[in-house]
Each structure stands twice: as structure tokens, then as C-alpha cells.
């Protein structure tokens, strides 16, 4: 099949993934910058002044993902969209590893599994779309 046909078919699935990632990361980034304690307390994490500052810095770094995802989603370049998804999937993979380690060490309550499931869900969905399996609208 011609590349242009595949690109047109992959567009809706890729844009849906980019949009959901954009919204999710924007909400988390804003939460970490504004009040990280309120975001993390439900997961059994208690922050001190130093960790609050560290999570605010993390939130400012995470705020770059929505920018990347917004411009990628609006672009007509399928390659740019793929690069954006791959970039965010690196974050989801590494953070999943760290979350599992923290969960197994008892640093989070049972709700920590929700965070792990969210990250794994994005990993699977992103890999599925990148592999072309989610190429129909």
C-alpha cells in the first residue's frame, strides 16, 4: 500500500493517543506545580518541603510534554507524531519501573497500582498505535 494511504489511516488513532496523553500530562504537570501534596497524598505519599520543591520541578519538566504533544498533534507529519509518542513512551517506561520499585518497597499504598496501570496502559496503547495496529479510525 502507498505510504500516503497508511499515513492517512494512522492519523486518527495517533491523534487520539496524542490528545489523551496531552490532557493527562497537562493535568498532572499543573497538579505537581500547584499542589503536589494534594496530588500525591491519596497514594500514601507524604511530602516535606524538599520533596514538594522536587515535585514542582518535575511538574515544570512534565509541562513540556503537553507542548510537544500539542504541536505534534497539529502537525501533518506522521514522523513527528511518531517521534513525540516514542519520546513520551520513554518517560512512561522508565517511570513505570520506578513506580513498581516504589510500590514493591511499600512507599505507596494500594492506590499506587493505579499509577502503574495508567503508565502501562499508555505504554501498550502507544506501542499498539506505533506498530500500526491502531491504524483504523
Range of the domain at 86: 3-130
Q: What percent of the chain has pLDDT over 90?
A: 86
Number of domains composing the chain: 1
pTM (two decimals)? 0.84
107 domain-assigned: yes
Query: Count of residues for the chain?
Result: 137
51 domain-assigned: yes
Distances (CA, A) of 36 to 5, 32, 68, 87, 134: 44, 4, 23, 24, 34
137 domain-assigned: no
96 domain-assigned: yes
- Per-residue confidence in pLDDT tens, the chain, 137 aa: 445 444 444 578 999 999 999 999 999 999 999 999 999 999 999 999 999 999 999 999 999 999 999 999 999 999 999 999 999 999 999 999 999 999 999 999 999 999 999 999 999 999 999 998 655 44
135 domain-assigned: no
Q: Which of 109, 86, 113, 111 has its CA nearest to residue 14? A: 86
Distances (CA, A) of 130 to 15, 78, 134: 12, 10, 8
Amino acid at each position: 500500500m502507498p505510504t500516503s494511504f497508511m499515513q492517512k489511516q494512522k492519523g486518527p488513532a495517533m491523534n487520539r493517543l496524542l490528545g489523551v496523553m496531552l490532557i493527562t500530562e497537562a493535568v498532572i504537570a499543573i497538579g505537581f506545580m500547584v499542589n503536589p501534596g494534594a496530588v500525591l497524598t491519596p497514594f500514601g505519599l507524604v511530602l516535606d518541603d524538599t520533596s514538594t520543591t522536587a515535585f514542582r520541578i518535575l511538574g515544570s519538566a512534565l509541562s513540556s510534554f503537553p507542548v510537544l504533544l500539542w504541536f505534534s498533534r497539529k502537525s501533518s507529519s506522521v514522523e513527528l507524531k511518531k517521534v513525540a509518542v516514542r519520546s513520551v513512551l520513554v518517560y512512561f517506561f522508565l517511570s513505570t519501573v520506578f513506580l513498581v520499585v516504589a510500590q514493591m518497597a511499600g512507599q505507596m499504598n494500594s492506590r499506587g497500582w493505579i499509577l502503574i496501570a495508567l503508565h502501562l496502559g499508555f505504554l501498550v496503547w502507544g506501542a499498539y498505535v506505533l506498530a500500526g495496529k491502531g491504524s483504523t479510525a
